[in-house]
Amino acid sequence: MYKALGNINYITDIHDLSQTSDIYFICVKDDAIEDVANAIPFELREDQILVHTSGTVPSSILSSYARMYGCFWPVQTLTRGKEIVSDELTVAITASQDYVEIALVQLADRIAYHSKVVSDEKRKKLHMAAVITNNFGYFLLTMAYDYCQKEDLDFKLLTSLIKETAYKANAPDFPESQTGPARRNDLSTIQQHLNMLSAYPELYKYYSLFTESIIQKYHHS
């Protein structure tokens, strides 16, 4: 059985790369992964694993540089200087063969709450869903924050609501937890909101789009 997680070295200069490591992680932006793999100053042995950490790039991009390769993608938003809470971390794993899968799953078991082995195609789709969930969701919160600032409202008053929304998203039946005027098809309240947003064309556009989509989902068969 592969014994995952030993000494870990972080480098920023490819020439400092040790030739004796068991697993090599390429942690760079997507379009630089193959450049880094190509710059490895020695040929990997057959028992050494080469891994990238992208949510979208196929693991097979590494097939020309290692016999054993894969992907170890943390399904989490990463911010420089902010520590990751391991018991809240999920990792999506793609592996070229069983040996790689065992090694990466064992590593994930040591540093993450949960891991899931997926294909390159499934991981790419999961990444897209993550963008909608996190990046788009964050942008909506940012728009709400900007609105509160301009209207002299305390955005912190929404903190408990944001936490409750995230909590409900973990429930098995969370799609049925949808609330709000669009869920109730409360056209009077919706119109009032649109009137208040007349001076905020971008927010008006998104409010209208989401309201229409929610009504379509819950009130049209």
pTM of the model: 0.84
Of residues 219 and 2, more confidently modeled = 219
Provide the percentage of residues in the chain whose pLDDT is more than 70.
96
- Is 90 exceeded by the pLDDT of residue 22? yes
Ranges in the chain annotated CATH 3.40.50.720: 14-118
User: Which two structure tokens, joined as six digits, stand for 89?
Assistant: 């971390």
Half-sphere exposure of 91 (CA within 13 A, CB side): 25
Virtual torsion, Cα 95, 127, 81, 138, nearest 10 deg: -170
What pLDDT is recorded for position 77?
79
Record: fold of 125-219: N-(1-d-carboxylethyl)-l-norvaline Dehydrogenase; domain 2 (1.10.1040)
What pLDDT is recorded for position 128?
96
Alpha helices in the chain (DSSP H): 33-39, 98-111, 120-130, 137-150, 159-168, 181-184, 187-196, 201-219
- Is 80 exceeded by the pLDDT of residue 3? no
Ranges in the chain annotated CATH 1.10.1040.20: 125-219
Closest to 208 (Cα-Cα) out of 187, 194, 188, 192: 194
- Is 90 exceeded by the pLDDT of residue 214? yes
pLDDT tier at 85, thresholds 50, 70, 90: low
The pLDDT of 199-204, averaged and rounded, is 96
pLDDT tens digits, 24-73: 999 999 999 999 999 999 999 999 999 999 999 999 999 999 999 999 99
CATH of domain 14-118: 3.40.50.720
Describe the strand order of the beta sheet including 114-117 as a list of residue ranges: 23-26, 49-52, 68-74, 90-95, 114-117
